[in-house]
Chains A and B, each alone.
Chain A
């Protein structure tokens, strides 16, 4: 499972971790029914505390993306709907745009330009 953490992201770690896992689910790296690696492996890989990962996993479970099963670990329950997925991407795009000094309406112009 491929996860990406933004090193400059000021948001709380557990949100970032949840985003990284959500992104992996949206992009189809893990399909519904697949098991996620154990939380401590994820924590070790991302260099964060295991409790942080557990908190992210619980958040994602509450979103309906993950399922916790006793003895079988954590598996993907469903893929978020594309609109929600796109919303996350647009949020990232806007976030990235701010770095270059672009405002949301500049991005709208840009999208109109290329489509």
Chain B
């Protein structure tokens, strides 16, 4: 056990070192290549191409070199996710990090190569070569690199709390008593963002209504959907009662989903972070999903069908204990 954790720590160190070296290497290339070709590039250089394929936007040379900062921010976010928490020792989370590092490097390097290639040896930016299908190649290569990064994240430890390891002792229930457990979790940030999106939707709709371009309706629709989805997943209420498990969403506690006790197998608690499950909100596929409002302790229930649902709520241990006790008494009677 101890041996294993030493090995995991060593792996974590190696992983962070390799990821850091990759970040530095790509940054160096992103800065060195434009500087190397500086004398053969116009200033400003063409940096944006219109739908016709002809250049229509420019960027001063110094700003072009600073594009490397984009990469630094992206890679820094990936490294930060790796350094904080236990993401490195969990395969699913580690793969997202390596995929992000691969995709980001390929995408930004590809854009740089395209831009330099089109501008090379031109006197003025208007003379830059036209680009079209090359952009598709960059996007495809970036996804290929992301996939390779995803594969590269596979080797190494995959630390997952064994199912049921943190099963709390079942409660003792006395007949003639109705026990219920209720807990809720909400994210003020999500509520704020959702309300902001709804406000934007209403403003855009009002603008469209009063004669501004009709395209604004599209924006209003998008913001409305985003706002409603955000509001829906900004808070969750979980109830365990003798009838079963009920999960209700949103400030209105609607929609709400109930699972009868007979369909529940057992429950336990597990620490899950947004990085483990792929972000905030409803994550995963039905049957293997997590409702992630905040990182930390989650209540995980397993259905008799074999599926699992994790919900990040406070006081999950008691909920799990009650659910197990109810399931046990249901089987006994």
Contacts and interface: CB of A to CB of B under 8 A. Distances in A.
A37 B183 CA distance: 6
A37 B241 contact: no
B176 A41 contact: no
B239 interface: yes
B318 A2 contact: yes
Contact of A3 (B180, B184, B253): B180
Given A29-B318, A37-B237, A41-B253, A1 B183 contact: yes
B83 to A, nearest CB: 31
B307 interface: no
Nearest to B251: A38
A45 B178 CA distance: 10
B180 A45 contact: yes
A5 B178 contact: yes
Nearest to A30: B315
Interface in A1-23: 1-8
Interface in A23-59: 29-30, 37-38, 40-42, 44-47
A41 B314 CA distance: 15
B177 A4 contact: yes
Given A37-B183, A40-B253, A45-B182, A2 B322 contact: yes
Interface size class of B (residues with CB under 8 A): 10 to 19
B178 A44 contact: no
Contact of B184 (A29, A37, A47): A37
B46 to A, nearest CB: 53
Contacts of B239: 41, 44-45
Contacts of B253: 40-41, 44
Contacts of A42: 182
Nearest to A38: B184
Interface in B213-262: 237, 239, 241, 253
Interface in B171-185: 171, 176-184
Nearest to B239: A45
Smallest CB-CB A-B distances: 4 pairs: A45-B182, A45-B180, A5-B178, A2-B181
Interface of B: 171, 176-184, 237, 239, 241, 253, 315, 318-319, 322
Given A6-B176, A38-B184, A42-B182, 18 more contacts: A1-B182, A1-B183, A1-B315, A2-B179, A2-B315, A3-B181, A3-B182, A4-B177, A4-B179, A5-B178, A5-B179, A5-B180, A7-B178, A37-B183, A37-B237, A40-B253, A46-B178, A46-B180
25 contacts: A1-B182, A1-B183, A1-B318, A2-B171, A2-B180, A2-B181, A2-B315, A2-B319, A3-B179, A4-B180, A6-B176, A7-B176, A29-B315, A29-B318, A30-B315, A37-B184, A40-B253, A41-B182, A41-B184, A41-B237, A42-B182, A44-B239, A45-B241, A46-B178, A46-B180
Interface of A: 1-8, 29-30, 37-38, 40-42, 44-47
